[in-house]
Structure 1
Amino acid sequence: MDDRSKHDHSGWEGVVRAARERARSRQALMVERFGLSGDVQYQWSMDDAQITWSRSGKVFLTGRLTLVGSVSVPQQSWLWSWANESLPPAVLGDIEQVRQFGEESGYPVLPWPGFDYHPELVAEARMVAASVLDAEGLWAESTDDLQLHFLVHDLTLTTA
């Protein structure tokens, strides 16, 4: 979908509002329910699309990751994970559904492979992706040159 004139702006604003509210409440619930603050450590892997949280070296929570997309800081650009051929298939999850939702609904920012980096637009895209894929939470990792934006799914408490 390359025709940027077909964007349903008022519809997009409504979808973003609902997705933002959903993401805020789910994120707060995830942090509170699983105690994801304070002395918590985590490890993640794109190869197997997994994240684990631990305290004092003991894993207490696991989850599945879906990479939504990445921001190249030097290039100031966003790239959807579904458009990045270098990624392990496991970390893509069902991200293709987000692209399809954008095509079907007239929200071209979702099926464009990438766009110029605007923090608010990236935030909107992440939250809409979280809503479309029914994520339990959002996760991000940053280096000097790269931001990775993930969704968190299937959280499971581990037994010791």
Structure 2
Amino acid sequence: MVSEHGLSGDVQYHWSMDDASIVWSRGGRDFLRGRITVIGSTDHAQQTWLWSWANDSLPQIVLGDITSVRRYGEEHDFPILVWPSFRAEQKPMAQARIIAADVLAAEGLWFEPGDEMDLHFAIHDLRRL
């Protein structure tokens, strides 16, 4: 996604939970837009992953079809997809993100680091502006 859409170098981006969007720009001009689904968050202090379907503080618009990931976990007996939260270790988080991206037919994944919490997005419907 990064190389195909030129998302390296002097690229800036802005995402919004108000309309579940992410926009990339260069030199002050927007050139790519996508839709985001928040798949989960990691809490630095607790060192836990929380699925977005278990996070009541998120607006409905950014949840997309995240419940399909939980259903997939139930149907295929994959506990980390069904547990609302789990210890934020690298391997389980990577598995959760990749499976979520596949189930959601995402074009890519995006990671937004924060001081206390990191957000993990699936990216959909990319289009050039």
TM-score band, normalised by the shorter chain? Answer: over 0.9
Question: 1:111 maps to which residue?
Answer: 82
Residue in structure 2 matching 1:58, options 29, 37, 48: 29
Matched, 1:149 2:117: no
Structure 2 unmatched ranges of 5 or more: none
Written as runs of structure 1 = structure 2, the 5 A alignment for 1:118-133 is 118-133=89-104
Question: 2:19 maps to which residue?
Answer: 48
Find the aligned partners of 1:113 and 1:79 in 2 and give their Cα distance: 6
Residue 84 of structure 2 aligns with an amino acid whose one-letter code is P
Deviations 1:2-54, CA, capped at 9 Å, x for gaps: xxxxxxxxxxxxxxxxxxxxxxxxxxxx1122101001100001121100000
Question: 1:12 maps to which residue?
Answer: none
Aligned length: 129
Written as runs of structure 1 = structure 2, the 5 A alignment for 1:78-93 is 78-93=49-64
Find the aligned partners of 2:119 and 2:84 in 1 and give their Cα distance: 15
Written as runs of structure 1 = structure 2, the 5 A alignment for 1:65-84 is 65-84=36-55
**Structure with the higher fraction of residues in helix conformation:** 1
Find the aligned partners of 1:51 and 1:134 in 2 and give their Cα distance: 17
Question: Percent of aligned positions with the same letter in both sequences?
Answer: 58
Find the aligned partners of 2:25 and 2:37 in 1 and give their Cα distance: 20
Structure 1 unmatched ranges of 5 or more: 1-29
**Structure with the higher fraction of residues in strand conformation:** 2
Normalising by structure 1, report the TM-score: 0.79
Cα drift, residue 133 of structure 1:
0.7
